Amino acid sequence: MMTPCNDRSAGPEDTNEDANADLAATAFFFHARMTIERPYYSAAHSDSGMIASMRSQTISLPRFLGFCLLLALPLSARAQGGPPLITNDPDTPGDGHWEINVAATGLYHDQAWEVSAPDVDVNYGLGERIQLSVHFEENWARATDGPWLSGLGPVELALRYRFVDEEKAGFALAVQPHWAKSWSSAAIRKGVAPEHAEFGVPIQVARHIGKAVAGAELGRDFISGAPDEWQLGAFGSRDCVVKGLQCLAEMVVVRPDHATSETLANLGARLELGEHFVVLGSIGRQLNGEHSALFYVGFQLLK
């Protein structure tokens, strides 16, 4: 999933040209998940080109709509999108409040790893309807039997504006334009950060249905020097057996221009350990192509 930041070292340059070539051949999509917490999963435009090989089939529209209907089953009234999911909801922290997510996120396929750690997402409420966000990460990658490479990932800035409130309209609706760019030339050379900047404009909706909550996000991602793409996600959550525990589920479909779609399913949980501290976790799988596995583990600070 989904970002300006401090200037950090991108890590030592790898001197093994064969290892670098191997990494490029089995590349991961750092560009793709420019935040799971943002979480706008832009998997189509890895500069190393592995993703093209993943698109072998698409999920049918009836199956996707069926999944959305499942999300409308009785859920917790506190259901929400965002970390550890990819799909966002229209919620904002509230005037003067902070929401900070710190995590390790990653992808595994065929003995190759892509990890972002730390993956940091900072959100601030400006009034009741506006959220300002900055996201940054340190990326790590290891191809099959190759060395670990690291570097500063893209930095993303975002602004969410909720222009429809559920209390008045029966549903909440927000827009969250965001802009992301990689600033480390060393990380780009190593293939652990995308070369192209991107600008996205997703719209987010959520609605309570009795005690249930269902949400969805539809966005268009404009990518400099690469094909643009559409993304559609739907999510839901419900209270689990343990007090303060929420179980989460989502499905995300990404459709690059002039290419077939990628689909992934994600299951996760949130555990409140106090008024200001929440443990986050999720695990997912790509349903077509190379069936890569994804994970997210971290915590959320609320103030």
Domains of the chain: 17-302 (2.40.160.40)
Cα–Cα distance for residue pair 43/45, rounded to 1 Å: 6
- Say what the pLDDT of residue 80 is: 66
How confident is residue 39, by pLDDT bands cut at 50, 70 and 90? very low
| 234-260 confidence digits (pLDDT tens) | 999 888 888 889 889 999 999 999 999
pLDDT, average across residues 83-91: 94
Phi-psi bin for 36: left (phi > 0), alpha (psi -120 to 50), beta?
alpha
Measure Cα distances from 27 to 21, 58, 114, 193, 244 in Å.
10, 22, 8, 11, 38
The pTM of the full predicted model, rounded to 2 decimals, is 0.76
- Say what the pLDDT of residue 52 is: 30
Q: Which amino acid is at 244?
A: G
pLDDT at 30 over 50: no
pLDDT, average across residues 161-177: 95
Identify the sign of the CA torsion 167, 231, 160, 280: positive
Helix or strand holding residue 67 (H, E): helix 61-71
pLDDT at 79 over 50: no
CA-based max dimension of the chain: 61
Q: Which amino acid is at 81?
A: G
> Which class for 65: exposed (0-12), middle (13-18), buried (19 or more C-beta within 10 A)?
exposed
- Say what the pLDDT of residue 2 is: 35
The count of other CB atoms within 10 Å of the CB of residue 157 is 16
DSSP letter assigned to residue 14: P
